[in-house]
Structure 1
Amino acid sequence: MAKSLSARIAERIARKKPAGNVRNRAAFLALRGEVQQAIDDGWPVKTIWETLHDEEKVAFSYQAFRGYVNRLILSPPGKGEAASTPAVAVQSRQVAPSLAPPSANNPAEWKPEKPTATGFTFNRTPKKEDLL
């Protein structure tokens, strides 16, 4: 009797090697704690990658390593993900009261300032004295 589709799929998956990006991500996740500690100690990401690559702990490129660092260590976790690293508090951009212009409290009195620096203006009719 022929095997069921589920049995054939299970056999195929068991025979198939995992893709390179899956292996690379697994290798990085195994070293994530060490990488996080090295970053916290102030080491550049390039130096961390070079050391791990020389020790043959990672076999993927620096660009892939940098991508894993950015996504899995430096960026704050998204919705539904467990927070493995503390998220950086985002401060709202508000003008301090002492730095706000006096008319900031009353927007009707506010007038935009004219720019002090003059930029390039194109004049399609040239001046004769500017020509050679």
Structure 2
Amino acid sequence: MANLSERLAERAKKTATEKGRGRSAFLALKPEIQHALDQGWSAKEIWSLLLEEDKIAISYSVFLRYIRANGMRGGEVSSDLPQPPAVAPSPPSQEVAPASLQEQPTASRERPTQSGLSGTGSSNFKLDSKPDKGSLV
């Protein structure tokens, strides 16, 4: 005789509506899924096997949504959730950059003007809100 989870999953396949069938199958397999997560298996590996065995028929993204909605977390290993760095990042070094890479003061930098010449004077650009109809193409 099959265990309760297997019988519930089989019943869900036969009786549930199309919309709720995936959720029913997931909930029937929830204890087994949680056990596999606790053992360190990734959600992707669990989903792939259950899909291959025809125990579920939901997409991976829906499978992950059901895992999160049911508060299920894996043990130490999980490739689906971002992991914090193992070592805290070291503070920036106090090395001095070469003079060619150092930031120059703003006043000494010159911006090219519209004519391509450098300088700090104003350009000859003038905004005219009413276009000259003779200059339009």
Q: Do both proteins adopt the same fold according to a TM-score greater than 0.5, normalized to the shorter chain?
A: no
How high is the TM-score relative to the length of structure 2?
0.42
Q: Where is the helix percentage greater, Structure 1 or Structure 2?
A: 1
Between 1 and 2, higher relative CO (CA 8 Å, sep ≥ 6) is seen in 2
> Which has the greater radius of gyration?
2
